[in-house]
Structure 1
Amino acid sequence: MKKLLVIGFVCPEPNSSAAGTRMLQIIGLFQKQGCEVTFASAAQDSDFMVDLSKFGIHKVAIKLNDSSFDEFVKAMQPNVVLFDRFMIEEQFGWRVIENCPNAVRILDTEDLHCLRIARQKAFNQNRPFSINDLLVEDVAKREIASILRCDLTLMISEFEMDLLQTVFKIDFSLLFYLPILLDGFEASFEKKLPSFEEREGFVFIGNFLHEPNWNAVQYLKEAIWPKILQKLPNATLKIYGAYPSQKVLQLHQPKTNFFIMGRAEDAQEVVQQSKVVLAPLRFGAGIKGKLLEAMQTGTPSVTTTIGAESMQGDLPWNGYVSDAVEDFVDAAVQLYTDKSIWLTSQQYGFSILNKRYQKDLFEGVFVERLHHLLSAIEEYRRNNFYGALLQHHTLASTKYMSKWIEAKNK
């Protein structure tokens, strides 16, 4: 039986973020191929992490900058190692190369961190984002180096795949488009969803450890919700999200029908009972789990260009996409009050799910690519000279920095 080692940034929390859901989906693809899966992480356990043993996954605690990992991975000898985000590859990639040189190394980006960070910096400086911002971003240098060192990088966004190829000249053979995977939407499920008349209120949902979500809630509170309330004085907006800080909780204002609800026990149930999802994201990257969840629950949404980026292809959006406050407000009010537009938008969402996120569209192609890597890894790596070059210099720098930290800690 083949062995997969996943080295996690954190333990998956599928009820807290789309990242947790995606990680379990990727692991599931390997398990269907008969892989034995071990999940290792240096992160502390959380109260909301999933019980991996229920999925047949062995969980192991590891340490940063500690040679005990070398002994662990050498004894395990995995066939495939999956790094959860580039920071994890930086920490453990060189150790995997030294102790398991034949293991296929796969990076899961979740989203392109350098893009999200560069956009946020441009936003904070009150100026438009430019591709040149990426070229001077230190995180970009680290993230691109990590992508080049790995045999394959999983990308959640087609826009980001194109960006890597055009801006950073990454070869297509090193990238694989794998969005969040969903089962096909069946017409029978639609009949079980609450109707337009049975739903009420607007909703926003998102993990508050993610800065774009916190910024979007501030934007809603200060600029968007007061204008919606003028037109719909009886409407409510409920804000759900894991890990709300005190500054988030202080925005709770029942007098203006603005409610901070905290963590949702069942996110899909919360969104399903709402009439419209609001997601005015002003920076960020990747595809947005909250907007896929809106489509899955038949709930139309209003979002921004950043929010909808790379999600719909050439299909109509599940509601409206608008970057201007007045247009955003008008779209929200129209969706909330016009049943015909609401129903049409709902159908658009179902179409996006079926044509762009069905598991069957990607599962077979991914397995085929994986088998090819496993059978011809030496030939594959010969064609990635820059990856070999970066590995050489990593082993001469990151390795000794880590060993120095380990010695210092002792």
Structure 2
Amino acid sequence: MNQIKKLLIIGFVWPEPNSSAAGGRMMQLISIFKQNGFEITFVSAAQDSDFMVDLAEFEVTKKSIELNSTSFDDFVIELNPEVVLFDRFMIEEQFGWRVVEKCPNAIRILDTEDLHCLRTARQKAFKENRAFEIHDLLSEEVAKREIASILRCDLSLIISEFEMNILKDVFKISSDLLFYLPFLVEKMNEEELLKLPSFENRNNFVFIGNFLHEPNWNTVQYLKEAIWPLIKKNFREAVLEVYGAYPSQKVLQLHQPKNGFFIMGRAEDANEVVKKSRVVLAPIRFGAGLKGKLLEAMQCGTPSITTYIGSEGMHEGLVWNGFIEDNPEEFAKKAIALYQNENLWKESQKNGITIINKCYQKNDYSEKLISLTNSLLEDPENHRLHNFMGNLLQHHAYKSTMYMSKWIEAKNKN
């Protein structure tokens, strides 16, 4: 009989799958490991939220932990997990050295969510009104921290093939340390489209996205200031509903019903909102990773229009389920065409199913992840022996994080 393996997940926040794509991805990871016999404990130093998932329903043990405290050391020694998964590089910085010190044999996996250094560098270039260049990453401070974290871990989960290429080509990270793991969904067939609301039974344009995420807020501003006036000019009856968790006062101030621009706030069921909408608008101007809202649109049979950054890494060159357009005038023109042309709309729906079935099949990736994890568990020393830069960083780079944490801990006791 196989011994049950323990997985410890250290979360940046508690999972909120109805608030963000990151929350949905975390629940996908939990599902994969749970289905393969892992006993999972999820811990976080974040405050509880009203919208976090009830982990007990998924047979996952939940525990709150403290930052800069030896109480985590005592906890992890007692739990003695075989695998530790860090939710984003900031968590690995905070707790990775403690895991190495107290559970040196545990396999350390980093879920990057997306490359923060890529998102940060693009955002800086956007605000400085210049084109982003790949070499911007080499001078980005966040990159130094994030790449160090990737090197220190036994394996990093990368959500985008575009980001996989950056890590290998720009930062020269060995492919042995990386695993491509996109969003994972079930296979769809065209017959399932018949079960979804039809073209004539759908209304309005929609945008949906967590407002705590800066690229989403910027997208809504861009829609309001540049895209929507162009759409309304040629399609007076047009209505746009903007949904998103955690809208601030500055977001709510954009609500303008007379102009067909509605700020709707949090969606109780994002899937239902997208299913009843006719077209998703997502003119994203900076960011990284994969856009959960665009995959969700495909699953809901809702065509979308986005930018090249929005579609980046999402469709492997397959025809998009709508249009990809950076020019605002063309974006608006194609949005109207997609909304009004039923044949074009239906063809776009089918393109979305093709993308889902080619790029996001759960079974294609989950089995490989578990196989790779088990392989690391069988011989972690050999794997680490060939990661010299990671060993070097373990020796040196953790020291500043470790002693800063110890200093804060000592200060808190006084």
1:5-32 CA-partner distances (Å, limit 9, x unpaired): 0000000000000101110111111111
**Structure 1 contact 94–394 (Cα < 8 Å) conserved:** no
| Structure 1 residue 226, shift from structure 2 partner | 0.8
- Who is 2:207 aligned against? 204
- The answer on 1:105 being equivalent to 2:104 is no
Q: Structure 2: which amino acid aligns with 1:249? A: L
Task: Pick one of 343, 347, 350 that aligns with 1:340.
Answer: 343
**Which of residues 393, 399, 403 in structure 2 aligns to 1:400?**
403
Paired position in structure 1 for 2:280: 277
After superposition, where does 1:9-408 map in structure 2 within 5 Å? 9-408=12-411
Distance 2:333 2:190 in 1: 30
2:199 aligns to what SS in structure 1?
A: coil
Cα distance 1:310–1:241, how it changes in 2: closer, same or farther (>3 A)? same
- Give how far 1:186 is off: 3.3
Q: Deviations over 1:323-349 (max 9, x none)?
A: 010110111011011111111111000
Task: Please give the alpha-carbon distance, in whole angstroms, between the structure 2 residues aligned to 1:27 and 1:375.
Answer: 22
Partner Cα distance (1:65, 1:237) in 2: 46
1:399 partner amino acid: M
Unaligned runs of 5+ in 2: none
TM score, norm. by length of structure 2: 0.98
Residue 156 of structure 1 contacts residue 177 of structure 1 at CA under 8 Å; is this kept in 2? yes
Q: What amino acid sits opposite 2:375 in the alignment? A: H
Q: 2:201 is paired with a residue of what secondary structure?
A: coil
Contact 2:190-2:353 at 8 Å conserved across structures: no
User: 2:141 and 2:147 mapped to 1: Cα distance?
Assistant: 10
Paired amino acid for 1:190: L
> CA contact under 8 A between 2:189 and 2:353: conserved in structure 1?
no
The C-alpha deviation readout for 1:101-145, integer Å capped at 9, x for no partner, is: 000000000000000000000000000001121111100000000
Structure 2 residue identity aligned to 1:408: K
| SS in structure 1 of the partner of residue 200 of structure 2 | coil
Q: CA deviation at 1:241?
A: 0.1
CA distance in 1: counterparts of 2:399 and 2:120, whole angstroms: 28
Q: Per the alignment, in what secondary structure is the counterpart of residue 191 of structure 1?
A: helix
- Alignment partner of 1:203: what SS? strand
CA distance in 2, matches of 1:47, 1:31: 25
Tell me by how many angstroms 1:398 deviates. Answer: 1.3
CA drift at 1:395: 3.8
CA distance in 1, matches of 2:288, 2:340: 31
Q: Is the 8 A contact 1:80 1:104 kept in 2?
A: yes
Report the Cα distance in structure 2 between the residues aligned to 1:132 and 1:314, rounded to whole angstroms. 24
State the alpha-carbon separation in 1 of the partners of residues 137 and 261 from structure 2: 37
Q: Distance in 1 between matches of 2:267 and 2:62?
A: 26
RMSD after superposition? 0.7
Q: Give the aligned residue type for 1:49.
A: M
Question: How far, CA to CA, are the matches of 1:239 and 1:133 in structure 2?
Answer: 32
The question of whether the paired residues in 2 share the 8 Å contact of 1:65 and 1:406 is answered with yes
State the Cα distance separating 1:44 from its structure 2 match.
0.3
State the alpha-carbon separation in 1 of the partners of residues 231 and 340 from structure 2: 12
In 1: Cα distance, 2:375 partner to 2:112 partner: 21
Deviation of 1:33 after TM superposition, in Å, equals 1.5
TM-superposed CA distance for 1:189, in Å, is: 2.2
1:234 maps to a residue whose letter is E
CA contact (8 A) 1:156 1:286 kept: yes
SS in 1 for 2:195: coil
Asked whether the equivalents of residues 279 and 301 of structure 1 are also in contact (C-alpha less than 8 Å), the reply is: yes
Task: Mark the runs of 5 or more structure 1 residues left unpaired by the alignment.
Answer: none
Residues 211-230 of structure 1: CA deviation (Å, up to 9, x unaligned): 00000000000001011011
Cα pair distance change 1:122/1:395, threshold 3 Å: closer
Letter in 2 for 1:334: A
